[in-house]
Amino acid sequence: MNRRKALVTGIAGQDGGYMAQLLLEQGYEVVGAGRRVCIAELGEGVKPVACDITDAGAVRDLVRAHQPDEIYNFAAMSSGAGMFDDPAHIGVVNGLAVTHLLEAIRHEKPSARLCQASSSEMFGEVRTSPQSELTEFKPRSPYGAAKVYAHTMLRIYRERYGIFACSAILFNHESPKRRPEFVTRKVTLAAASIKLGLASEVALGNLDARRDWSSAEDVVRAMWMMLCHSTPDDYVVATGVVHSVRELCEIAFRHVGLNYLEFVRQAPDTSRSHEQVQLVGDARRARETLGWAPRVDFETLITSMVDEDMRRLRETERRTEVR
């Protein structure tokens, strides 16, 4: 019996890496696509392919050549502090490129199933909480607007052409692979660095800001379950529970035996305007339809990130001593 084949775009990112790992565990043949793909970073079992998702011809060639049964699209420009950087290019990468994928599926592999990594940033200026699949989109950034365009195109292609396309509306999700510019990783890396004597403090914005944080491993499992289901749909993926940056600091620093109050300096937070309504996800549809539920709690997630930061910093110190 032939193994199912999956194409994972944005393979070098946090989510792409975890998705590839999950698919390999499930016995898939995995093709990982990105603009710059490093074989060593992907791990054994993933076939790396260089592809610029903004190039419609290249995307169509990619689907034609590999004939994937499933496609998971994580290719996107950054969220967080980068949501306003180069708005036109964000529109191409996060929005128009998804249409390239849909067109490639339509012409080259109509039976392929697609799961798009959408974002809670599509909700933007929310008026009701929690947010579900029926909540109005009112994005506040080019990033969110581009994601809304992609989300809309998925629905159009699903209804007009019968393509099996799902939108995973992902709320904040983290892991030890999260990049340092995100607040969770900034905090865990600071806790580890201060514990090892490599730093003395960390400056953060609003400590009372609250987010619905999931584990990246839980998120990609939900996306896989969407494509395993009999019918395509859109799903919010979130825990439904919010935690403050202050709680994040407390957990991270306590894990290494420190009191965050002695090391965290609060600086003015100019990156985001104050949110009048809490951004928190209602994942009832995913729970009831797919049987999905998060497995990793917030404290376990944060302490695992601290542990990984400690490991990396100690490894760096050892290499420096050897030199």
| Residue found by looking up tokens 């490093």 in the block | 38
Half-sphere exposure of 68 (CA within 13 A, CB side): 30
One-character DSSP codes across 49-87: EE--TT-HHHHHHHHHHH--SEEEE------GGGTTSSH
Phi and psi for 46 in degrees, rounded to 5? -100, 130
Between CA 297 and CA 165, with CA 221 as vertex, the angle to 5 degrees is 135
CB 19 within 8 A of CB 32: no
Which of 143, 157, 235, 260 is flagged as catalytic? 143
Rounded to whole angstroms, the Cα distance separating 195 from 298 reads 21
Distances (CA, A) of 251 to 8, 203, 207, 245, 246: 33, 17, 13, 10, 9
CB 84 within 8 A of CB 124: no
For residue 87 the two structure tokens come to 């708005």
Which of 79, 118, 119, 214 is flagged as catalytic? 119
175 included as an active-site residue: no
159 included as an active-site residue: no
121 included as an active-site residue: yes
One-character DSSP codes across 209-272: -EE--EEHHHHHHHHHHHHHSSS--EEEE--S--EEHHHHHHHHHHHTT--GGGTEEE----SS
| Residue found by looking up tokens 């749909």 in the block | 233
Phi and psi for 79 in degrees, rounded to 5? -90, -160
Rounded to whole angstroms, the Cα distance separating 103 from 258 reads 53
Which of 121, 217, 247, 250 is flagged as catalytic? 121
- Annotated catalytic residues are 119, 121, 143
